Amino acid sequence: MKLNSDKSFIFRIWHLYFDGFKEISGWGKKMWIIILIKLFILFAIIRFLFMPDFLKKNFKTNEQRSKHVLENLTTYNR
């Protein structure tokens, strides 16, 4: 890959990763697939199971939500 100074930095980074992933062996591709599946599970599925939308569930308006957040950020709770 020839790097010209007239190409943008982002364009050169894109080609670095694109060429690198294109040359990965079969074992490396399988590992990346496993990594992507694990990331999907962590960020998409587990988020909905363990992080419910507390504010939307317990407060009806944005004003009530913002008041609750402000009170919890500014008061000392033991």
What are the tens digits of pLDDT across the range 6-40? 678 899 888 888 888 888 888 888 998 999 999 99
**Residue 38 pLDDT:** 93
Nearest Cα neighbor of 44 from 34, 32, 36 is 36
Question: Model's pTM, two decimal places?
Answer: 0.47
Asked if pLDDT for residue 2 goes beyond 60, the answer is no
| C-alpha 24, offset from chain centre | 24
**Residue 25 pLDDT:** 84
What are the structure tokens assigned to 11, written together? Answer: 């364009």
Give domain limits for the chain.
9-74
- Given a contact cutoff of 8 angstroms between Cβ atoms, the answer to whether 60 and 66 are in contact is no
- Given a contact cutoff of 8 angstroms between Cβ atoms, the answer to whether 65 and 55 are in contact is yes
Quick: pLDDT tens for 38-53: 999 888 888 888 877 8
